[in-house]
Amino acid sequence: NTSTITFNPAPAGYGIKFVRKIDGEEVIVPALVDYVVDLSRGTTLGIQHNGKEVRVQTVEHVMAALYGLQIDNCKVELSESEPPVCDGSSAEYVKVLLKAGLVEQEEQREYFVINEAVRYTNEKNGVDIVALPTDDYRITVMIDYHNPALGSQHTGLFNLEKEFVSEFASARTFCFLSEVEMLYNQGLIKGGNLDSAIVIVDKEFDDKQLKELQEKFNMKDAPVLGETGILNDSALRFKNEPARHKLLDLLGDLSLAGVPLKAQILAARPGHAANIEFAKKIRALYKKTSPLKRFQIDKNSESVLNINDLLKIMPHRYPFLLIDKIIDIDYENKTILGVKNVTMNEQFFTGHFPGKPVMPGVLICEAMAQTGCLLLLQTLDDYTQYHVFFMAIKNAKFRKPVIPGDQLVMDLQMLGKKFNSYMFKGTAYVNSQVVAETEFSAAVIKKEL
């Protein structure tokens, strides 16, 4: 059957959803990693409907097109279970989307900011995928199938807006000639042809075997091994087109995390199974933090504890009280969210630095420590009977300067306790971007009577 795909506009907050009509009824399959049901040769989503599973197969190229064009909301209608294969890349999807035109919606785009390393490793297959903190979205991919017909290849995408359409969207899927018969017998490429994949010649085929390929794929002429290492001497669009296609697949698979990322992705030998496991890790972290919108705090967020409350609890006073309000305390998970409005009136700006005011990193750490101290005091039976003292600090990192006018949001978690000392991990944000992070410990000392 001929497959048709229709991209429809959707309101802000809709996300990406695939829609199939089953017995006249629309069945919606959300484009989320939670709905992945098969990875045998691509990424397949599925959902139960009237006791049966409704599937959408090989969604990665469609998802890559949408993510690469930074489309967050779209209703994608399919006439069949699989989108049109086209040429085995995302190019045709990109072309039709750009022709239709893109509309910028009023709502602010939400990003999930990776603030610490997230890693997936499969030692058996030599797979290693890691996400590292950065202010934008970058992907670097290395592939190596231990097959001399292809060898090792590398590629990198460093600017989604400038590079995706011209450098990656048209990279086609590929397979090895030695795989073709096996894949055909498994029913995984019966709809494919030489126009929708690069076939890398990694073994000799005689005329009889080539004739069989012609018949299986209903080709007008029998394929030839050629001289370039690509079946039929088909021209590559890029010297490292296989690596670029694996990056395209990774882009599409990671979009199933359900939120645009700010991260640097480094991937060695990625594939759909590994990509999806990694996307699950990202989505789990996002779901853990998104209910509180921890990285996008509004300046008018309602206080759990205001400045007058803080003055009753904290021993610090101006100019050394470095918290203005607390906007969330989670006693079960032992986390707290504090806010410091940084103004030009801060005394330390007089000397740090004249003409270029920058908040000292040590005071950012102090502000985080005070926030953690407040969480600790709130867990004690009678906080008025105790002092809390800094004991140690480690792994302090400062990523961006904090200047007058910034709102410093401090996210603290109590990691554990040993005797009378408590361990904390803190991350400070400005405008949803990490500016500092550290780990420290504090001691609780009973006041002398």
DSSP characters for 24-80?
TEEEEEE-SGGGEEE-SSS-EEEEEETTEEEEE---HHHHHHHHHTT---EEEEESS
Rounded to whole angstroms, what are the CA distances from 277 to 82, 118, 129, 253, 299?
22, 12, 10, 10, 36
What are the φ/ψ torsions at residue 222 (nearest 5 degrees)? -70, 140
Is 272 an annotated catalytic residue?
yes
By CB neighbour count within 10 A (0-12 exposed, 13-18 middle, 19+ buried), where does 281 fall?
A: middle
Contact indicator for 21, 4 with CB cutoff of 8 Å? no
57-61 CB contacts, 8 Å cutoff, 24+ apart: 57/81, 57/82, 58/82, 58/83, 58/85, 59/18, 59/31, 59/83, 59/252, 60/248, 60/249, 60/252, 60/253, 60/272, 61/86, 61/88, 61/89, 61/90, 61/93, 61/248, 61/249, 61/252
From 49, 316, 352, 387, active-site residue: 352
Is 387 an annotated catalytic residue?
no
With CA atoms as reference, report the closest residue to 275 among 125, 157, 77.
Answer: 125
What are the φ/ψ torsions at residue 259 (nearest 5 degrees)? -155, 140
From 49, 154, 245, 272, active-site residue: 272
Q: Cite the active site residues.
A: 272, 352
